[in-house]
């Protein structure tokens, strides 16, 4: 791999948000890793559409997968801000690598840490925190995502085992050669409400892999995130022990809502990193590229475009810093997480478009980082809750039950 010249930094910590010593060191460490290891390999793996297991292993050795996991379970015992900072720095260079970490921790590990039994924590967290294995979270279906009530996957108890049948789609980290666990949400019962409507009982269940009847279908042919692993899943009479229930029976809906709220904060950090990466590439190019004897950045329309890109990044970073601060201090953060995700995803998409425009024809070449960000960033407005879902959550926080 050929090392690239590290981009000029434009991501100084805003006043009033000075990072503690450990977090500042971590930020610099992951930034250097992203510049020296991730970025030079990004185009190669994007073209191959392969997850770079050597890079994932290196991230495991750095302790990135174990950042928010207590030391007693094999982690580094740090906080959620540490995870967000790592995700942000990786996303500057390659969103696929960043989401592999974000989803592996936020969706794969955190539900076990939050609601798992002591036995489940000791069985799974050390392995997942090491980065030697990945876990996925099987929520979305053809008719269920934002509307979890549309879940069709079922699980019934039979001879002390859950028998699971159904299909899941768009599941990250579900089909890699180091995937060892997928948590699935399934209907485990139904009840009739007073108005006669049927209420589904949703439960989360741990499915260790490989498992008989569990099939990872062919990977999706995606517009972007080519290096990230994403599969549809089919479960046919998959059997796991009754003890593999994650959290209380019937609490699957509440637990996955809490998981998504928390995960959106790290996802917002990913969005911020993507927007930051576009800004850095565009600033560098605007200073190097000369037309009519002067750098193109001396043209007001380009300088103003860069200024707007900087303003978006700054706003996105402030938003996720605020959300993670409330999360870590036990304060309500649902609306703040949605605002951070909304603002961050729009910043990433807008900055990718503007950066590609500044690069001109070069911005349309896949070997260029801004072209990959342009393709990758659209999913940021969809994944872990669409922008419309975030607006609905924010509106409910204002007292409006908008549908």
Distance CA 197, CA 278 (A): 49
Of 5-9, 34-38, 204-208, 299-303, the range with the lowest mean pLDDT is: 5-9
Mean pLDDT of 237-263: 93
Cβ atoms of residues 100 and 175 within 8 Å:
no
Domain identity same for 259 and 379: yes
Per-residue pLDDT at 7 exceeds 90: no
42 and 102 within one domain: yes
Q: Is residue 280 part of a domain?
A: yes
SS3 180: strand
Domain boundary among 133, 159, 189: 133
Flag whether 16 is in a domain: no
* C-alpha dist (Å) from residue 165 to 151, 187, 220: 11, 10, 21
- With the CA atoms of 365, 366, 369 and 371 taken in that order, what torsion angle do they form, in degrees rounded to the nearest 10? 70
- Tens digits of per-residue pLDDT, 151-186? 999 999 999 999 999 999 999 999 999 999 999 999
Do residues 285 and 375 share a domain?
A: yes
- Whether residue 214 lies inside any domain: the answer is yes
User: Which pLDDT band holds residue 401 (cuts at 50, 70, 90)?
Assistant: confident
**Do 176 and 155 belong together in one domain?**
yes
Q: How confident is the model at residue 402 (pLDDT cuts 50, 70, 90)?
A: confident
DSSP code of 378? G
Same domain, 60 and 87: yes
Same domain as 346, residue 286: yes
Mark whether 28 and 116 lie in a shared domain. Answer: yes
Task: Return the CATH number at 312.
Answer: 1.20.140.10
Residues marked as catalytic? 384
Task: Give how many domains the chain has, as a whole number.
Answer: 3
* pLDDT classification of 192: cutoffs 50, 70, 90: confident
Residue 2 falls inside a structural domain? no
Q: How many H-runs (helices) and E-runs (strands) does the chain carry?
A: 12, 10
Q: Are residues 378 and 284 in the same domain?
A: yes
User: Is 3 among the domain residues?
Assistant: no
Task: Examine the domain organization and report whether 151 and 201 are in the same domain.
Answer: yes
Residues 221 and 333 occupy one common structural domain? no
pLDDT at 204 over 90: yes
Instruction: Provide the CATH number for the domain around residue 216.
Output: 2.40.110.10
Q: Which domain-ending residue is among 216, 232, 249?
A: 249
Domain membership flag for residue 172: yes
**Is 89 within a domain?**
yes
CA distance 186 to 352: 38
The answer to the question of residue 191 being in a domain is yes
Choose the final residue of a domain: 101, 133, 165.
Answer: 133
Residue-range definition of the domain harbouring residue 234: 136-249
pLDDT in the model for residue 145: 75
- Please tell me whether residues 392 and 266 are part of one structural domain: yes
Q: How confident is the model at residue 2 (pLDDT cuts 50, 70, 90)?
A: very low
**Residue range 248-261: average pLDDT?**
89
Per-residue pLDDT band for 8 (boundaries 50, 70, 90) equals low
On average, the pLDDT of the chain sits at 94
CATH number at residue 63: 1.10.540.10
Q: Is residue 236 located within the same domain as residue 262?
A: no
Contact 326, 22 (CB under 8 A): no
In a 10 Å sphere around its CB, with 0-12 CB exposed, 13-18 middle and 19+ buried, how is residue 177 labelled?
exposed
């Amino acid at each position: 791999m050929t090392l690239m010249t590290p981009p000029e930094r434009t991501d100084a910590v805003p006043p009033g948000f000075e990072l503690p010593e450990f977090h500042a060191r971590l930020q610099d460490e992951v930034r250097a890793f992203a510049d020296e290891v991730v970025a030079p390999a990004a185009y190669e793996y994007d073209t191959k559409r392969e997850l770079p297991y050597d890079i994932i292993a290196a991230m495991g050795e750095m302790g990135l997968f174990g950042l928010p996991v207590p030391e007693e379970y094999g982690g580094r015992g740090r906080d959620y801000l540490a995870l967000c900072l790592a995700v942000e720095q990786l996303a500057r260079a390659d969103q696929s690598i960043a989401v592999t970490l974000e989803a592996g921790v936020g969706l794969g590990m955190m539900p076990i840490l939050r609601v798992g039994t002591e036995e489940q924590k000791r069985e799974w967290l050390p392995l997942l925190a090491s980065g030697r294995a990945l876990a996925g979270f099987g929520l979305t279906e053809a008719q269920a995502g934002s509307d979890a009530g549309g879940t069709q996957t079922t699980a019934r108890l039979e001879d002390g085992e859950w028998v699971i049948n159904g299909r899941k789609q768009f599941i990250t980290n579900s089909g890699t050669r180091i995937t060892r666990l997928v948590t699935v949400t399934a209907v485990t019962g139904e009840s009739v409400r007073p108005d006669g409507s049927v209420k589904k009982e949703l439960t989360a269940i741990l499915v260790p892999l490989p498992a008989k009847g569990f099939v990872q279908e062919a990977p999706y042919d995606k517009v972007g995130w080519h290096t990230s692993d994403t599969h549809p899943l089919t479960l046919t009479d998959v059997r796991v022990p009754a003890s593999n229930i994650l959290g209380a029976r019937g609490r699957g809906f509440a637990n996955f809502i809490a998981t998504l709220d928390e995960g959106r904060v790290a996802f917002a950090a990913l969005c911020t990193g993507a927007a930051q990466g576009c800004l850095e590439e565009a600033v560098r190019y605007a200073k190097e590229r000369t037309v009519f004897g002067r750098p193109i950045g001396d043209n007001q329309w380009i300088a103003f475009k860069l200024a707007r890109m900087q303003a978006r990044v700054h706003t996105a970073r402030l938003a996720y810093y605020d959300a993670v601060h409330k999360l870590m201090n036990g304060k309500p953060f649902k609306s703040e997480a949605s605002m951070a995700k909304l603002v961050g995803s729009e910043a990433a998409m807008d900055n990718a478009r503007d950066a590609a425009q500044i690069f001109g024809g070069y911005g349309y070449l896949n070997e260029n980082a801004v072209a990959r960000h342009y393709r990758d960033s659209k999913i940021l407005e969809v994944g872990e809750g669409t922008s419309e879902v975030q607006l609905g959550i924010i509106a409910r926080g204002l007292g409006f039950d908008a549908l």
